[in-house]
Structure 1
Amino acid sequence: MKTPDPRIKVDGPADFAQLLPFLVGHQPEDCIALHGRIATQSGTGPTMTLSLPDDPATWQATAAAFAAKFIHITHEHGAHDILDIVVFLCRTPRLGQSAEETAETLRPLADYFVDAFTNLGRAPVTSTVALVDNRWWAYECHLPGCCEGDPLPDPDDPTSVAAQLARHGWIPGRRTSEITQEFQPTEPEDAADLRRTLDNEGAAWAQYCANPSAGDTYLQATHALLETAIRDFRVGATELAHDITARLIFGLNDEWARDHGLENIEDDDLPHARRLWAFLARRAIPPHEGAVVAALTLLAAVVWRQDDIPTARYALKRALTLDPDDDFAEALHEAINYGVDSTALLPIARKAKAERLDRSQMNGPLTN
């Protein structure tokens, strides 16, 4: 996380609400953000975000788990001496719901976070803020009519925190919905044909998984199609035929095929690899969303190399929601949280490529 210019005064919920998009690198929607304030001139410390679950029945457990993770990462691994914590609850009103009703709905979640951090005993929550429709509510304020739905300062106001940050070259980034649009499943006009192709390829993948030792032909074809797809996207392709798309969506779930895809994280490969993995993610339409974990993880690796941390985080959140036990996605997620340099992926990818070429020269098995 970058540290804002210390000459910019940040004081109170409204100022921190303006600062939040600059801290997390995007304009959060339907999410929880935890921000730790530390003893520096700017006072800004680590910030972590999490998608806000729709079901209120899960909120207490979510608060307990997210608070514990924040403390673990920031205290045990981040070496931050946190003075206190600000909790942001960002939500778009549901159909037929006013901003006031939305803010009141979030009040129990704010209380759960206060309780969770109190139980952990490491840093107190000094402010819980709801951000709804560009307005803010501070739940700690009990004065009638105060801190209830006040509009955020106009970014065009030269005295606002947002305007001051903009003058120093900071940008708030894209909205969450714009980020996730890159890889969310999207049905093409011929969705029925694509779904039938995915059904057939899913059956072939299941057969391969049942007897991988006899599936060299399947995996060899996947590797060949992957090479062709990378080459086509390198020269400007933006989509693939349905049969190739389906084969890659399922085939990349093989460890060797996924490692083959990971090879494309050298600097010159990043733009076209990003387009390919995002395209595959968008084409994993229901009921086949679960097959796209590998492509989402490869997308996260590529955008991390491009220093696009918000997209990497959201792609990994999507992957881990689909498969919480995916080791590679979890490893990337932890590495990003701990501030590991993305160039750490390069020796891993280069080793995978060398091993693949060795297997090819020796005509050895491709399966893992």
Structure 2
Amino acid sequence: MTTSDPRIEVNGPSDYAELLPFLIGHQPEDTIAVHGRIATGVGTGPTMTLPLPEDPATWQSTAEAFATQFHHITHDHGRHDVLDIIVFLCGTPRPGQSSAEAAESMRPLADYFVDAFNKARRAPVMSVIALIDNHWWAYECYLPGCCEGEPLPGPDDPNSVTAQLIRLDRTPGRRASDITQEFLPTEPEDAADLLRALDNEGAAWAQHCATSSDDGTVLQATHTLLETAIRDFRNGATELAHDITARLIYGLNDEWAQDHGLEHIEDDDLPHTRRLWAFLARHSLPPYEAAAVPALSLLAAVAWRQDDQSTARFALQRALTLDPNDEFADAIHGAINHGLDATTLLPIARKAKAERQARACSNDAHKN
């Protein structure tokens, strides 16, 4: 979303704090956001987010890595118009902790981000703003009682940035917790049966990987199950049997099977494949969450095609948290961050489909 409309006036930390949900497309919760201001219009610069790390021991390395990534995606790829940086630290008080105490506890993280961006000598940090319980703090202000715990104006205030944007048909989006509810693990009533199925299929998958079997039997079985599941979800199904669910969750961990899933990225496929990938991700219960990485990546691809970048980013964040080395998730994440159009997935998916069909024809020829 851009807010270059001259009718919107943004002045100071409070206004930028109101602007944040419109920049990132959702209501932030336990999130770090970095926005690069440019001269052509308020809110039109690059914005990136990441989850707020719980462990303070990782804060410095997180700030340094994120500053490097932000500059790589902006300055190193031709974006030299960033004037300065605004960092948002969106947190939640811990039990027994006040909002002010939570804001003060994040001050070292604010300092790490200032140091990391200033060290790069490309764009200085203009402001670091904490957002907690609908109140804001500006760390660069050291005047006692100033910029400390100020409440954000609500949409009922006609002069607020939020109200102005809503009048222009902008939306701050859903809360982060509502977005992730689509794909985070959720125990069904018969969770014990699902866990047994996941355990059995996990053991079978480990055996398959250990033997490096390449006869195509497992892959063909996954293809058949996947086509059946997609057909059923296209016809309105909302659930699968636990054994089928577990087989698909693990079967998609085969690179060829994941490519098969990506084939269903055409417009008519998007609604029902989104429901299927989210269903598989939700049913990857602990301790089997890592098996959901392919389903999460496919969900992100579908959400991206539907112009739902918020869901795509959250699904990719979870996938890369579970497996930081997953190449498919990393590739989609990089494409979104570089501002590529989601239709770039179409030729990739069509090529994968052509290659799969060629392999199938070759296998049939060998059998005959």
Q: TM-score, normalised by structure 1?
A: 0.97
**Residues 6, 314 of structure 1: alpha-carbon distance in 2 compared, 3 angstrom cutoff:** same
Equivalence for 1:325: 325
Residue 215 of structure 1 deviates from its aligned partner by 4.9
Q: Distance in 1 between matches of 2:319 and 2:364?
A: 31
| Cα deviation code 1:35-79 (max 9, x no counterpart) | 111112436411111111000110011011101111111111252
Residue 214 of structure 1 deviates from its aligned partner by 5.0
Q: Distance in 1 between matches of 2:111 and 2:89?
A: 11
Residue 217 of structure 1 deviates from its aligned partner by 2.1
- 1:186 correspondence with 2:171: no
Q: TM-score, normalised by structure 2?
A: 0.97
Provide structure 1 residue ranges, at least 5 long, that are not aligned to the other structure.
none
Does 334-343 or 352-361 show the bigger shift? 352-361
Residue 282 of structure 1 deviates from its aligned partner by 0.3
Q: Distance in 1 between matches of 2:275 and 2:78?
A: 33
Equivalence for 2:282: 282
User: The residue matched to 1:148 in structure 2 has which SS?
Assistant: coil
CA contact (8 A) 2:8 2:164 kept: yes
Amino acid of the structure 1 residue aligned with 2:335: A
Amino acid of the structure 1 residue aligned with 2:200: N
CA contact (8 A) 1:78 1:338 kept: no
**Residues 293, 41 of structure 1: alpha-carbon distance in 2 compared, 3 angstrom cutoff:** closer
Amino acid of the structure 1 residue aligned with 2:72: H
1:125-136 map, 5 Å = 125-136=125-136
CA contact (8 A) 1:252 1:258 kept: yes
Does 41-50 or 175-184 show the bigger shift? 41-50
Residue 30 of structure 1 deviates from its aligned partner by 0.3
Amino acid of the structure 2 residue aligned with 1:249: I
Equivalence for 2:157: 157
Q: Distance in 2 between matches of 1:44 and 1:246?
A: 44
| Cα deviation code 1:195-241 (max 9, x no counterpart) | 01100000110111122335522221111100000000001111110
Amino acid of the structure 2 residue aligned with 1:267: D
Residue 256 of structure 1 deviates from its aligned partner by 0.9
Residue 356 of structure 1 deviates from its aligned partner by 1.2
Amino acid of the structure 1 residue aligned with 2:309: I
Residue 150 of structure 1 deviates from its aligned partner by 0.5
Q: Distance in 1 between matches of 2:108 and 2:79?
A: 31
* Percentage of pairs with the same residue: 74
Q: Distance in 2 between matches of 1:309 and 1:83?
A: 25
Provide structure 2 residue ranges, at least 5 long, that are not aligned to the other structure.
none
User: The residue matched to 1:169 in structure 2 has which SS?
Assistant: coil
Equivalence for 1:262: 262
Equivalence for 2:175: 175
Equivalence for 2:108: 108
**Residues 36, 220 of structure 1: alpha-carbon distance in 2 compared, 3 angstrom cutoff:** same
Equivalence for 1:236: 236
Q: Distance in 1 between matches of 2:144 and 2:275?
A: 51
**Residues 158, 80 of structure 1: alpha-carbon distance in 2 compared, 3 angstrom cutoff:** farther
Equivalence for 1:118: 118
Q: Distance in 2 between matches of 1:7 and 1:323?
A: 44
Q: Distance in 2 between matches of 1:150 and 1:125?
A: 21
Equivalence for 1:202: 202
User: The residue matched to 1:237 in structure 2 has which SS?
Assistant: coil
